[in-house]
Structure 1
Amino acid sequence: MVKVAVLGAAGGIGQPLSLLVKLNPIVDELALFDVVNVPGVGADLGHINSNSTTESFLPESKEDKTALANALKGSDIVIIPAGVPRKPGMTRDDLFNINASICQGLAEVIAKNSPKAFVLVISNPVNSTVPIFAETFKKAGTFDPKRLFGVTTLDIVRANTFISQLFPKETKPGDFNVNVVGGHSGETIVPLYSIGRTKKYYDELNEEQKKALIHRVQFGGDEVVQAKNGAGSATLSMAYAGYKLAESILKAVNGESNIVECTFLNLDSSIKGASEAKKLVNNSEFFSLPVLLGKNGIEEVKYEILNEVNSDEKKLLEVAIDQLSKNIEKGVAFATK
């Protein structure tokens, strides 16, 4: 029996994400939690004739933790899009002040009710919220770095799509799987176009085109925020990206081998390759890198890719590492204050 809990299931990301999870044949139980509107979402999804059962959990008050605890009990995977979305003019710092408290509260209840679950953090800013989850789990004595994932998959999805759009006659987005490393905001996002299938096409671009492409991957979220004109941020693409990582974890847990995904993880020495990776990223505690997935979560960090980057990407990594250290510090400070 496989149970997946979605925390923030009634939101702009949560609804399409829950729909995708509902359709997955491996999932037996889908638990939907939110502080508003979730019974309607559950009733709607419950009419779909897929294999999984659906149950909604709505707290009776702000102080009520029973609904959340019940949603989490027995969960194998917990996906967290909960929080306030970014609005026009809102910085990631503004977002942090609101979402940090939400994330810490959720982490405390997860630690008590589903300490062995794989936890996928979508709530922004991921560079800071993932350290909050890690520190909160450490306090509770339940932290397992192999089971905590910061969802950066949307950066890969965008990187694949955007380079394909430059070569529409020759390629499709599905032809590529760009490794995007670093973090999950602005210049902390570093797409490694010089490695793998994209190298051939990337080399055909001039310097101006390369810079524009990198910038578009790094700030693709702004593109969506502006296009929605006050009506939201990237929800559908983020839901797809979050589900894509969850689907890979489900496959790995189900016994499929050689599944590699990029994720923002804690470079803890208990994970194979993490110590080597840490040395290459100026001892950053957290970093997004390709990882090999297995039955227990993250089996190995594929750090070797950092030795293959070109000179331009090395410069991008230097900027990313510098900014990332401040983001991580901010999350740790919040969780430990």
Structure 2
Amino acid sequence: MVKVAVLGAAGGIGQPLSLLVKLHPAVKQLSLFDVVNVPGVGADLSHICSDSQTTTHLPSSREDKTALASALKGSDLVIIPAGVPRKPGMTRDDLFNINAGIVKGLAEGIAENCPKAFVLIISNPVNSTVPIVAETLKKAGVFDPKRLFGVTTLDIVRANTFISQLYPDSTTPSQFNINVIGGHSGETIVPLYSIGNSKKLYDELDEEKQKALIHRVQFGGDEVVQAKSGAGSATLSMAYAGYKLADSILKALTSSESIVECTFLNLDSSIKGAAEAKKLVKGLDFFSLPVLLGKNGIEEVKYEILNEVSDSEKKLLGVAIEQLEKNIEKGVEFATK
């Protein structure tokens, strides 16, 4: 029986994400945690005639840790969209002080109640919150780098969609699976259009259109923030992206299928290919790269892709690495201070 816990289940991302997880055939227990409104979300979802049972967990006070503990106990997969959303004019760094504390507290709960669970981090800024979770689990002595995933899948979803929109008569988004590496904010996002079946179409674009496409992938979140006129950020597409990665992990858990996904991971030497990847990204401890998934999580880092990038993508990677170093340091410092 697979149990999935969604932490922040009543939020803009949490609700549609919980709906998608509720429908997954491998999930038999869906555990919803939030500090507000979660009983109503759970009641609503519990009427859906899928085979998973739904439970809700609402703390009675700020000091109440029993609700989080009961939500997490026995979980195989934990997805964390908890935190405040980005508002107009807000950068992901602006979110840091609020969301960092939330994520650290949830990571402490995971360490105590389900240390073997696979953990997917959606809470922004991912470049810093993933290191916070890693350091928190390390402090508790339960960290397994193969089981921690920063969700950068939305960048891939956008990369697939945006290039298809340039060729609407001959392509569909589902034809593509663009590798997007680096991080999950602005210029740390590096879509590799020069590799795979997007190469020919990408090469047909002039330099200005190529730059515009890259920029749109890197700052696609701003489109949604502006379109919602201050009423929110990317919630539905982010929920889909989080579910897409969760689905791949659940497939790897329950089948012998060979599944590769990009994720923001800790380049720990215990993972095959991580040490080689780390050398190629100037010693960064965290980086988003394609990984091979298996029953124990991340089985291998497909670092070879770093040797296949174009000259223009190498320049983008240089900028990404410089920014990521600061983002990662910020997260580690918060978790260890």
Q: Normalising by structure 2, what TM-score? A: 1.00
Q: Tell me the distance in 2 between the aligned counterparts of 1:193 and 1:301.
A: 20
Q: Check if 1:150 corresponds to 2:154.
A: no
Look up the match of 2:9: 9
1:256-300 deviation per Cα after TM superposition (whole angstroms, max 9, x unaligned): 321000000000000000000001000110000000000000000
Within 5 Å, which residues of 2 pair with 1:20-99? 20-99=20-99
Counterpart code for 1:124: N
Within 5 Å, which residues of 2 pair with 1:259-270? 259-270=259-270
1:126-152 deviation per Cα after TM superposition (whole angstroms, max 9, x unaligned): 000000000000000000000000000
Q: Tell me the distance in 2 between the aligned counterparts of 1:47 and 1:156.
A: 33
Counterpart code for 1:128: S
Counterpart code for 1:229: S
Q: Tell me the distance in 2 between the aligned counterparts of 1:157 and 1:91.
A: 21
Q: Tell me the distance in 1 between the aligned counterparts of 2:317 and 2:43.
A: 46
Residue 329 of structure 1: CA displacement? 0.2
Counterpart code for 1:90: M
Counterpart code for 1:170: S
Look up the match of 1:189: 189
Residue 92 of structure 1: CA displacement? 1.6
Q: Tell me the distance in 1 between the aligned counterparts of 2:90 and 2:280.
A: 33
Q: Check if 1:286 corresponds to 2:286.
A: yes
Within 5 Å, which residues of 2 pair with 1:188-207? 188-207=188-207
Q: Tell me the distance in 2 between the aligned counterparts of 1:293 and 1:168.
A: 32
Question: SS of the counterpart of 1:28?
Answer: strand
Q: Check if 1:110 corresponds to 2:110.
A: yes
Counterpart code for 2:2: V
Q: Tell me the distance in 1 between the aligned counterparts of 2:126 and 2:256.
A: 28
Counterpart code for 2:127: N
Residue 255 of structure 1: CA displacement? 1.8
Counterpart code for 1:314: K
Q: Extract unaligned runs of 5+ from structure 2.
A: none
Residue 173 of structure 1: CA displacement? 0.1
Q: Check if 1:250 corresponds to 2:246.
A: no
Look up the match of 2:316: 316
Look up the match of 2:122: 122
Look up the match of 2:135: 135
> How many residues align structurally?
337
Question: SS of the counterpart of 2:31?
Answer: strand
Q: Tell me the distance in 2 between the aligned counterparts of 1:114 and 1:332.
A: 22
Look up the match of 1:238: 238
Counterpart code for 2:41: V
Q: Tell me the distance in 2 between the aligned counterparts of 1:256 and 1:25.
A: 17
Q: Tell me the distance in 1 between the aligned counterparts of 2:131 and 2:215.
A: 26
Residue 90 of structure 1: CA displacement? 1.3
Counterpart code for 2:220: G
Q: Tell me the distance in 2 between the aligned counterparts of 1:31 and 1:181.
A: 31
The worse-fitting range, judged by mean Cα deviation, of 251-260 and 217-226 is 251-260
Look up the match of 2:306: 306
The worse-fitting range, judged by mean Cα deviation, of 44-53 and 91-100 is 91-100
Look up the match of 1:162: 162
Residue 219 of structure 1: CA displacement? 0.2
Question: SS of the counterpart of 2:48?
Answer: coil
Q: Extract unaligned runs of 5+ from structure 1.
A: none
Q: Tell me the distance in 1 between the aligned counterparts of 2:149 and 2:256.
A: 19
Q: Tell me the distance in 1 between the aligned counterparts of 2:192 and 2:272.
A: 22
Look up the match of 2:333: 333
The worse-fitting range, judged by mean Cα deviation, of 90-99 and 176-185 is 90-99
Q: Tell me the distance in 2 between the aligned counterparts of 1:167 and 1:326.
A: 37
Q: Normalising by structure 1, what TM-score? A: 1.00
Q: Tell me the distance in 2 between the aligned counterparts of 1:93 and 1:325.
A: 14
1:11-49 deviation per Cα after TM superposition (whole angstroms, max 9, x unaligned): 000000000000000000000000000000000000000
Question: SS of the counterpart of 2:115?
Answer: coil
1:212-242 deviation per Cα after TM superposition (whole angstroms, max 9, x unaligned): 0000000000010000001100000000000
The percentage of counterpart residues that share the same residue type is 82
Residue 89 of structure 1: CA displacement? 1.3
Counterpart code for 2:253: V
